[in-house]
Amino acid sequence: MSSPEIASLSWGQMKVKGCPTTYKDCKVWPGGSRTWDWRETGTNHSPGVQPADLEEVVKKGVKTVVIGRGMSEALQVPSSTVDYLKKNGIDVLVLQTEKAVEEYNVLAAQGVKVGGIFHSTC
């Protein structure tokens, strides 16, 4: 099962190929995607992305996770989150969201089992 391409990104909106939903923030993995609802884990810009935000993506068997920090990189990614991924044998890239989406799409096109979590504002 391949990771879906992110078809478009603009401020506050993301579209995943093959999915009718327009996301503000989303999670993607091989074979699927869904809204990333920060309220599920109490996420906020600071301290930022928590390991709990990534558990679902990790469980999909990804080898690489790309984290999009927002258009202005306001979303933090603490070292504990990066450490969580590395301890699970997962490569991690933390980038500004436009760059993160570009990198994610390159990896997905190469057939890498890649997942991502992206914030499309701030």
What is the sign of the dihedral through the CA atoms of 76, 115, 10 and 24?
negative
Q: How far apart are CA 106 and CA 121, in angstroms?
A: 22
Q: How far apart are CA 115 and CA 40, in angstroms?
A: 19
Q: What is the pLDDT of residue 76?
A: 97
Element (H, E) at 55: helix 51-58
Q: What is the pLDDT of residue 97?
A: 97
- Residue ranges making up the domain that contains 27: 4-116
Confirm whether 69 is domain-assigned: yes
Q: Averaged over 16-32, what is the pLDDT?
A: 96
Confirm whether 109 is domain-assigned: yes
Tens-digit pLDDT profile for residues 29-47: 999 999 999 999 999 999 9
What value does the mean pLDDT of the chain take? 97
Q: What is the pLDDT of residue 1?
A: 83
Tens-digit pLDDT profile for residues 69-110: 999 999 999 999 999 999 999 999 999 999 999 999 999 999
Say what angle helices 79-87 and 51-58 make with each other, to 10 degrees.
30
Query: Does residue 20 surpass a pLDDT of 90?
Result: yes
Torsion (CA) 1, 118, 12, 35 in degrees, nearest 10: 60
The count of structural domains within the chain is 1
The enclosing domain of 51 has a CATH number of: 3.40.1230.10
Three-state SS at 72: coil
Q: How far apart are CA 105 and CA 18, in angstroms?
A: 14
Confirm whether 122 is domain-assigned: no
Confirm whether 96 is domain-assigned: yes
